[in-house]
Structure 1
Amino acid sequence: MADARTIILHEYPASPYAEKVRLTLRLKNLAYARVEQPSIMPKPDLIPLTGGYRRIPVLQIGADIYCDTAIILRELEVRYPMAALKLSGHEGLAQMVAGWADGRWFQSSVAVIFGEIGDNVPEAFIKDREQLSGRPFNVAGMKAVAPMMRDQWRARLMLLEERLAGAKGAGGGLYLIGPKPGFVDVHAYMNVWWMKQAVPAFADACFESAPLTRAWYDRLREVEGQEPETITSAQAVEIARDAAPRLVAATTRNEPQGFAPGEHVAVAPDDYGQDWVEGELVHADSQRVILQRVSPEADTIHVHFPRAGFLVRRA
């Protein structure tokens, strides 16, 4: 039964970013509990944990809340180093691949997928994504550019094929970096997985020119992990309320803005969904910022954000 020691993943099944975390949990064979959150607002039991951050996935361990896949994957690797996915000799590479996969490749995925299925998307979802992004969710526009975006999507897929072919020629080729899967594979897998779920005929057509990538995708898809326990969002809030955040050094290191522990600051993504989360600064360094928040629902919690891709300001 889930408690303060349990890995709790707040997600919904169709989320491509949540699939990064699910794959990581399978590769590490970690037991966890899942909370199925709504794909659109309102999210009444998530916001008390995050302080306003609404994007999925969110990871919870007791009263520590991790927002964004970058900090989630980093924390899972630190807490559970076996089996290692941060492969020796490739430090920093996974984050660079993540920037590519989450950026231009993801945007081409969005155009292809919603150009294909956009007419069937509920109006409530469209309005939610317009509020999240701050711009129109233009289905007609995505349909118009979908043929060109299919070209772009396939071109990016073929970069994986080129990498796997090079690795195979060097005696490897099972995964993008070597004989074992790592975070580079996790990040690159996301768009392929999403396209295979949403527009499988197009994904399979692309695979015809990318047999090594098809085999790589199948190897990752077939990784078996532990079946998660399902709990309610209310149970997750109760677990946070009855736990205490993990002890962390109250410190800042070489802060460009001169932040000090105890200051009241606000954090938000630098791209979309800029819902500023306010709290007392506990810790900040080049890769992480931690805020302490107190709420009636969850009592005292620590909310963790990655530094890259997030803005920090004095509140």
Structure 2
Amino acid sequence: MADARSIILHEYPTSPYAEKIRLALRLKNLAWSRVEIPVIMPRPDLMPLTGGYRRTPVMQIGADIYCDTAIILRELEARFPMPALKLPGHEGLAQMVAGWTDGRWFQSSVAVIFGEMGDKVGEDFIKDREKLSGRPFDVNAMKAVAPMMRDQWRARLMLLEERLQGGQGAGAGLYLVGAKPGLVDVHAYMNVWFMQQNVPDFLAKCFETADLTKAWFERLQEFEGQDPETITSAEALEIGKHAAPRLVVATTKYEPQDIAPGDMVAVAPDDYGQVWVEGEIVHADSQRVILQRMSEEAETVHVHFPRAGFLVRRI
């Protein structure tokens, strides 16, 4: 049964970002628990833990809450370093690749997928995603650009093919950097998986000229890992309420805004889902900011965010 030491992933099966973390958990063969959250809001048991952050997935370990895949992967690697995913050649590069896979490539994935299946999407989903993105979720516009976006999507896939062709030494062509799967592979895998789940015929067509990428993708899919235990959102909230956040050094290292422990700030993504989460600074450095939050439902939690891609402002 899940407890304060367990990895708890708040996710839903069709989320491509959640699949990125599920792949990392399989590669590291870690035991974990899951809470299946609704695809759309509301998520009443999760909001007290995150302070309002609403993107998927969220990782919880006791009273420590990790928002965004970048900080989740960083924390998994720090707590469970073996087997490693931060391999030689992946340092720094992995997050650079993530900026591409989670940005421009994901945008073309969305256009292709919803241009294909937009008519099957419910009005509640459309309204939720409009609120999340802050712009219209225009299915007709996606249909209109879908042919061009297919070109864009394939062009990006073929960059993986070039990388695999250009590998050197033992194990060349097995993974994007060397003979073992690492963080760069985890980030690059996401959009290919998303397309396989939704427009498999298009992906199969792309694979006709990308043999190495097809083999790379299938190789990653073969990792099985451990089957997760499913718990309820209420159980996860109760675990957080009765746990204490992990002890961290209350410090800030060079901060351009001169924020310091004890300052009240708000944090939000810089692109979409811009819900500002307020809390007291516990720790900040170039790659992470930790807020302490207190509420009746969750008592005291530490909410962790990455710095790249997230805005911090004083309140």
The question of a shared fold, defined as TM-score above 0.5 by the shorter chain, is answered with: yes
Q: Which whole-Å deviations, capped at 9, do the CAs of 1:113-142 have from their partners, x for residues lacking one?
A: 000000000100000000011110010000
Aligned residues between the structures: 315
The worse-fitting range, judged by mean Cα deviation, of 85-94 and 121-130 is: 85-94
TM-score (norm 2): 0.99
Cα drift, residue 170 of structure 1: 7.0
Measure, in 2, the Cα distance between the counterparts of 1:171 and 1:79: 28
Measure, in 2, the Cα distance between the counterparts of 1:77 and 1:128: 33
Change (3 A) 1:171 1:74: closer
Cα drift, residue 90 of structure 1: 3.0
Measure, in 1, the Cα distance between the counterparts of 2:150 and 2:183: 26
Matches within 5 A, 1:207-246: 207-246=207-246
Answer yes or no: is the 8 Å Cα contact 1:17–1:190 preserved in 2: yes
Answer yes or no: is the 8 Å Cα contact 2:163–2:176 preserved in 1: yes
1:174 aligned partner: 174
Measure, in 2, the Cα distance between the counterparts of 1:60 and 1:21: 13
Name the aligned partner's letter for residue 239 of structure 1. I
The worse-fitting range, judged by mean Cα deviation, of 6-15 and 87-96 is: 87-96
Q: Which whole-Å deviations, capped at 9, do the CAs of 1:242-272 have from their partners, x for residues lacking one?
A: 1000000110111100101001110000001
Name the aligned partner's letter for residue 63 of structure 2. A
Matches within 5 A, 1:109-120: 109-120=109-120
Answer yes or no: is the 8 Å Cα contact 2:281–2:292 preserved in 1: yes
Name the aligned partner's letter for residue 47 of structure 2. I
1:123 aligned partner: 123
Matches within 5 A, 1:1-315: 1-167=1-167, 172-315=172-315
Cα drift, residue 172 of structure 1: 1.1
Measure, in 2, the Cα distance between the counterparts of 1:138 and 1:207: 29
Name the aligned partner's letter for residue 284 of structure 1. A
Secondary structure of the structure 2 residue equivalent to 1:167: coil
Measure, in 1, the Cα distance between the counterparts of 2:73 and 2:244: 22
Measure, in 2, the Cα distance between the counterparts of 1:212 and 1:190: 17
The worse-fitting range, judged by mean Cα deviation, of 82-91 and 127-136 is: 82-91
Change (3 A) 1:53 1:171: closer
Unpaired runs of 5+ residues, structure 1, are none
Secondary structure of the structure 2 residue equivalent to 1:157: helix
Change (3 A) 1:81 1:171: closer
Measure, in 1, the Cα distance between the counterparts of 2:125 and 2:171: 47
* Identity over aligned pairs, percent: 79
Name the aligned partner's letter for residue 210 of structure 1. A
Answer yes or no: is the 8 Å Cα contact 1:168–1:174 preserved in 2: no
TM-score (norm 1): 0.99
Cα drift, residue 167 of structure 1: 1.2
Measure, in 2, the Cα distance between the counterparts of 1:203 and 1:262: 50
Measure, in 1, the Cα distance between the counterparts of 2:257 and 2:212: 47
Cα drift, residue 91 of structure 1: 1.1
Change (3 A) 1:41 1:166: same
Give every structure 1 segment of 4 or more consecutive aligned residues whose post-TM-superposition deviation is greater than 3 Å: 168-171
Secondary structure of the structure 1 residue equivalent to 2:98: helix
Secondary structure of the structure 2 residue equivalent to 1:127: helix
Measure, in 1, the Cα distance between the counterparts of 2:274 and 2:91: 29
Answer yes or no: is the 8 Å Cα contact 1:108–1:150 preserved in 2: yes
Secondary structure of the structure 2 residue equivalent to 1:98: helix
Change (3 A) 1:296 1:29: same
Answer yes or no: is the 8 Å Cα contact 2:90–2:182 preserved in 1: no
Measure, in 2, the Cα distance between the counterparts of 1:263 and 1:277: 14
Measure, in 2, the Cα distance between the counterparts of 1:89 and 1:196: 28
Secondary structure of the structure 2 residue equivalent to 1:278: strand
Secondary structure of the structure 2 residue equivalent to 1:148: helix
Measure, in 2, the Cα distance between the counterparts of 1:256 and 1:18: 32
